């Protein structure tokens, strides 16, 4: 492989300059070295003697060439009339002049050459593909390239940024059938190989969520359909209501509650029908002692004094009855124990 002139890897390789200086062998050597090794090779350094010999040789060559040019011009100038006489002899018709004949031959030869070239192209067009195909069948080009071509070296010299800048990515993407491409992808396998934990750990979820238009998403969701498919019983069975209630600020909820609206929707009649109002009132009156309140407020005969007198009378009645009964019981008991009636 030949190194690219001007590339940073081969700054000193200048085969053209070598040819200008007559160092054809040196250039060939360098070229061979580059071709076989694939690596840039430094120009061999010449010793002073060799350089002197080289200069002498160049000087001799220059003089020789100059002398040859002068000789040729002189000979041409001298032989020009004779040559002109030979190409265009007098007294001979122009069509028989050697120059004319040669020109005709040359023209005919040119036409033949053109015809040959055309036929050769036809033959090449017919044979070259077949030959190349036959060759390619017998040659593993990929292996050949891999063995002989330093792809890394090539790629390193390519200005990929400039190449990408010239690519019309929009147009390229527009031509891609993404649906078909996605349809061919085995997403399950792909997902199985993805380290989702690692991916998620790299994502700034806060920023993502902040950019999400949740209201728009909720507007597009058919909540009725979702709720219809929901097994509410199972959800409720798994819910830890105690924990939920602990986290709820019931005071705040109650503060926001429109009690009037709630009461307006309640079937109070049905509620009242289920309440034993009479029994409740009876219990309440038992507790508050309504008769005492009425007596205190009315100031009727049944005042505290009269009540006390009455109760005193009742207690006295009981006490007297007990005394009498005890006395009678003793007497009866005495009679029953053997005394004569």
**Rounded CA gap, 262 and 90, in Å?**
137
Measured from the CB atom, the residue of 131 and 288 that comes closer to other proteins is: 288
Residue 7 CB contacts under 8 Å (≥ 6 apart), including other chains:
157
**Rounded CA gap, 15 and 5, in Å?**
9
- Quote the Cα angle for 197-203-204, to 5°: 135
Least distance between other proteins and beta carbon 334 (Å): 16
Least distance between other proteins and beta carbon 326 (Å): 11
Measured from the CB atom, the residue of 51 and 322 that comes closer to other proteins is: 322
Long-range Cβ contact pairs of 152-155 (< 8 A, separation 24 or more): 153/1, 153/9, 153/38
Least distance between other proteins and beta carbon 273 (Å): 16
Using CB under 8 A, which of the segments 58-66, 153-161, 209-217, 319-327 binds other proteins?
Answer: 319-327
Measured from the CB atom, the residue of 116 and 294 that comes closer to other proteins is: 294
Helix H or strand E segment including 307: helix 304-336
Measured from the CB atom, the residue of 46 and 311 that comes closer to other proteins is: 311
Using CB under 8 A, which of the segments 37-45, 92-100, 200-208, 281-289 binds other proteins?
Answer: 281-289
- For position 316 contacting other proteins by CB under 8 A, the verdict is yes
- Quote the Cα angle for 106-110-113, to 5°: 135
- Contact residue for other proteins among 133, 292, 333, 334 (CB under 8 A): 292
Which single residue is written with the structure tokens 């998403």?
217
| DSSP codes, 169-205 | HHHHHHHS-HHHHHHHS-HHHHHHHS-HHHHHHHS-H
Least distance between other proteins and beta carbon 275 (Å): 14
Using CB under 8 A, which of the segments 18-26, 179-187, 264-272, 309-317 binds other proteins?
Answer: 309-317
Least distance between other proteins and beta carbon 292 (Å): 7
Greatest Cα pair distance, the chain, in angstroms, is: 217
- For position 314 contacting other proteins by CB under 8 A, the verdict is yes
Are the beta carbons of 58 and 22 closer than 8 angstroms? yes
Contacts of other proteins in 14-33 (CB under 8 A): none
Helix H or strand E segment including 30: helix 24-37
- For position 159 contacting other proteins by CB under 8 A, the verdict is no
Which single residue is written with the structure tokens 């020009």?
80
Measured from the CB atom, the residue of 56 and 309 that comes closer to other proteins is: 309
- Contact residue for other proteins among 119, 310, 326, 333 (CB under 8 A): 310
- Contact residue for other proteins among 300, 337, 339, 341 (CB under 8 A): 300
Closest among 26, 22, 98 to 56, alpha carbons compared = 22
- Contact residue for other proteins among 63, 324, 332, 333 (CB under 8 A): 324
Q: Residue numbers of the site for other proteins (CB under 8 A)?
A: 278-279, 282, 285-286, 289-292, 294, 300-302, 306-307, 309-311, 313-314, 316-318, 320-322, 324-325, 328
């Amino acid at each position: 492989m030949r190194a690219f002139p001007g590339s940073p890897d081969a700054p000193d390789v200048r085969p053209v300059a070598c040819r200008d200086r007559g160092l054809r062998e040196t250039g060939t050597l360098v070229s061979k070295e580059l071709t076989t090794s694939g690596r840039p090779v430094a120009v061999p350094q010449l010793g002073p003697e060799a350089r002197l010999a080289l200069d002498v040789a160049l000087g001799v060559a220059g003089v020789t060439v100059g002398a040859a040019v002068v000789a040729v011009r002189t000979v041409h100038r001298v032989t020009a009339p004779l040559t002109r006489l030979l190409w265009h002899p007098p007294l001979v018709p122009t069509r028989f002049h050697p120059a004319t004949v040669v020109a005709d031959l040359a023209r005919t030869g040119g036409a033949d050459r053109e015809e040959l070239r055309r036929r050769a192209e036809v033959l090449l067009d017919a044979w070259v593909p077949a030959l190349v195909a036959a060759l390619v069948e017998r040659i593993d080009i990929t292996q050949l390239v891999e063995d002989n071509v330093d792809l890394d070296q090539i790629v390193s010299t390519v200005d990929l940024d400039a190449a990408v800048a010239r690519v019309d990515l929009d147009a390229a993407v527009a031509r891609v059938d993404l649906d078909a491409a996605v349809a061919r992808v085995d997403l399950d396998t792909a997902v199985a190989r993805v380290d989702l934990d690692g991916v998620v750990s790299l994502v700034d979820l806060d920023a993502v969520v902040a950019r999400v238009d949740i209201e728009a998403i909720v507007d597009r969701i058919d909540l009725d359909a979702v709720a219809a498919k929901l097994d509410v019983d199972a959800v409720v069975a798994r819910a830890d209501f105690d924990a939920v209630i602990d986290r709820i600020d019931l005071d705040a909820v109650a503060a926001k509650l429109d009690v009037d609206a709630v009461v307006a929707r309640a079937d109070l009649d049905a509620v009242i029908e289920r309440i034993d109002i009479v029994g409740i009132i009876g219990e309440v009156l038992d507790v508050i002692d309504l008769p005492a309140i009425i007596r205190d407020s009315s100031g009727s005969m049944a005042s505290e004094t009269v009540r006390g007198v009455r109760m005193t009378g009742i207690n006295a009645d009981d006490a007297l009855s007990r005394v009498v009964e005890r006395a009678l019981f003793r007497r009866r008991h005495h009679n029953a124990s053997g005394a004569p009636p």
